[in-house]
């Protein structure tokens, strides 16, 4: 999403846009981590969940109990509230998404160490999703993605070793070694042919050179259903963000509570909560500025409802204007 005609590839899906709406390139040695706004999809893998599989270990006991009693009916309701994206990994990449929020789990009772995406209900195998992303990167050698493995459920040390080995097997030399955040520029990534930064929120990251510790990508969570409170929270956490040493995620998402789900039981997350609050959230996004004290990564549910990626990418125009003035 950072490449332009000047530098080579324009991401798939961007070529049909007029030049002024295409993803912008960072100038040589621009600090990608601190200056370039870009887009992240929340619970990126939830475009498909398996209503026939058991309820995930990330759910409370009462939810598992209700699912056991009401079975498929309960899971169909859960599906409406577990899915936060409509687009597949390939479609999200083509739309300009480059940061992926990943929650993973084993299936308790299943033999072996297979790992699945999870958000209430199990999704695809992690290997399948990673392979889709790798295929895109192979076709677009100047594209870079961030993979944030921030929740791990029902996983012991053997499962973690299996997942880490899978990452090495799928991405190989594309994996960027953890280093000083300020050293990460597009020039640095392109020169070393790195295309993947993996953030791993588990002690296993400490022993692996290509795993970035979770503290390097803080993502403060508002945990509210109120758009006004969300925006206040985003403003506060932006003003408090570390200026050096880490990336920063602004989670522009609303989180349903039990009474929210009850009131919108049939409608689901998208129709009951996201759609009606999206205008206020997007107005906040459009008003942001890039730079050390501005937004870095912005995450959203249902990135296809509006031209979310392009809205965030356009903020980079402000950096170019600032350079032109100076």
Rounded to whole angstroms, the Cα distance separating 256 from 299 reads 16
Q: Count CB neighbours of 244 within 10 A.
A: 11
* Of 102, 223, 197, residue with least CA distance to 153: 102
12's CB contacts (< 8 A; 6+ apart) are 93, 94, 136, 139, 140
Confirm whether 165 is domain-assigned: yes
Residue 312 lies in a domain: yes
Q: Is residue 109 part of a domain?
A: yes
pLDDT at 12 over 50: no
What pLDDT sits at residue 16? 32
The phi-psi region of residue 302 (left if phi > 0; otherwise alpha if psi is between -120 and 50; otherwise beta) is left
pLDDT value of residue 239: 87
Averaged pLDDT, 136-153: 95
Question: Which tens digit of pLDDT belongs to each residue from 54-89?
Answer: 777 776 665 554 555 556 666 677 777 788 888 888
Higher pLDDT, 64 or 98: 98
Residue 125's beta-bridge partner residues?
Answer: 116
Structural domain count of the chain: 1
pTM above 0.85, yes or no: no
Residue 67 falls inside a structural domain: yes
35 forms bridges with which residues in the sheet? none
Strand 121-125 and strand 116-119: pairing? antiparallel
Q: What is d(CA 96, CA 39) in angstroms, rounded to the nearest whole number?
A: 7
User: What does the DSSP 8-state code read for residue 29?
Assistant: T
Residue corresponding to tokens 């170019």: 320
pLDDT of residue 31: 37
Q: Scanning the structure block, which residue is given the tokens 């079975």?
A: 71
Q: What is the pLDDT of residues 148-206, one digit of tens each?
A: 999 999 999 999 999 999 999 999 999 999 998 888 888 899 999 999 999 999 998 88
Residue-level pLDDT at 225: 93
Give me the DSSP letters along 260-292: HHHHTTTTHHIIIIIHHHHHHHHHHHHT---ST
Query: What is the model's pLDDT at position 5?
Result: 25
Q: Which of 116-120, 151-155, 310-314 has the lowest mean pLDDT?
A: 310-314
265 lies in some domain? yes
Domain that holds residue 218: 19-325
User: pLDDT category, 17, cuts 50, 70, 90?
Assistant: very low
At 225-254, the pLDDT tens digits run: 999 999 999 999 998 887 778 888 999 998
Reported as a single tens digit per residue, the pLDDT across 18-42 is 333 333 333 333 434 434 666 657 7
Share of the chain above pLDDT 70, in %: 79
- Residue 64 pLDDT: 55
pLDDT band at 207 (very low <50, low <70, confident <90, very high): confident
User: Measured between alpha carbons, how far is 238 from 252 in angstroms, rounded to an integer?
Assistant: 12
Q: Name the residues annotated as catalytic.
A: 42, 119
Structure tokens at 132: 């889709």
CATH number of 174's domain: 3.20.20.190
> SS3 letters for 70-123?
HCHHHHHHHHHHHCCCCCCHHHHHHHCCCEEEEEEECCCCCCCCCCEEEECEEE
pLDDT over 50 at 15, yes or no: no
| pLDDT for position 43 | 65
What is the pLDDT at residue 221?
92
- Domain membership of residue 8 (yes or no) is no
**Residue 6 has what pLDDT?**
27
* Residue 207, in any domain of the structure: yes
pLDDT of residue 36: 63
Q: Please report the pLDDT score of residue 185 as a whole number.
A: 86
Instruction: Assess if residue 3 is contained within a domain.
Output: no
Greater model confidence, 124 or 245: 124
CB atoms within 10 A of CB 187: 15
Interior CA angle at 45 toward 314 and 179, to 5°? 65
């Amino acid at each position: 999403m950072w490449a332009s005609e000047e530098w080579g590839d324009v991401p798939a899906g961007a070529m049909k846009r007029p030049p002024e709406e295409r993803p912008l390139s960072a100038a040589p040695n621009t600090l990608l981590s601190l200056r370039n706004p870009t887009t992240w999809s929340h619970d990126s893998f939830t475009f498909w969940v398996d209503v026939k599989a058991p309820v995930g270990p990330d759910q409370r006991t009462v939810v598992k109990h209700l699912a056991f009693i009401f079975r498929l009916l309960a899971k169909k309701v859960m599906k409406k509230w577990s899915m936060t994206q409509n687009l597949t990994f390939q479609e999200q990449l083509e739309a300009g998404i480059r940061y992926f929020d990943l929650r993973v789990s084993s299936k308790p009772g299943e033999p072996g160490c297979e790992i699945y995406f999870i958000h209430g209900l199990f999704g695809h195998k992690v290997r399948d999703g990673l392979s889709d992303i790798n295929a895109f990167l192979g076709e677009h050698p100047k594209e870079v993605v961030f993979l944030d493995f921030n929740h791990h459920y029902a996983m012991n040390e053997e499962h973690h070793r299996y997942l880490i080995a899978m990452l090495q097997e799928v991405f190989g030399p594309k994996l960027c070694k953890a280093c000083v955040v300020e050293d990460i520029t597009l020039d640095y990534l392109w020169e070393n042919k790195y295309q993947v930064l993996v953030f791993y929120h588990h002690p296993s990251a400490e022993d692996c050179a290509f795993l970035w510790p979770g503290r390097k990508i803080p993502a403060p969570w508002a945990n509210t259903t109120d758009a006004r409170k969300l925006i206040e929270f985003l403003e506060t956490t932006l003003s408090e963000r570390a200026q050096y040493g880490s990336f920063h995620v602004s989670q522009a998402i609303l989180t349903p509570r039990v009474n929210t789900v009850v009131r919108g039981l049939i409608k689901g997350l998208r129709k009951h909560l996201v759609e009606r609050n999206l205008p206020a959230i997007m107005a906040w996004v459009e008003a942001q500025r890039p730079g050390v004290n501005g937004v870095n990564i912005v995450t959203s549910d249902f990135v296809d409802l509006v031209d979310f990626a392009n809205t965030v990418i356009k903020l980079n125009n402000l950096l170019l204007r600032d350079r032109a003035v100076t």
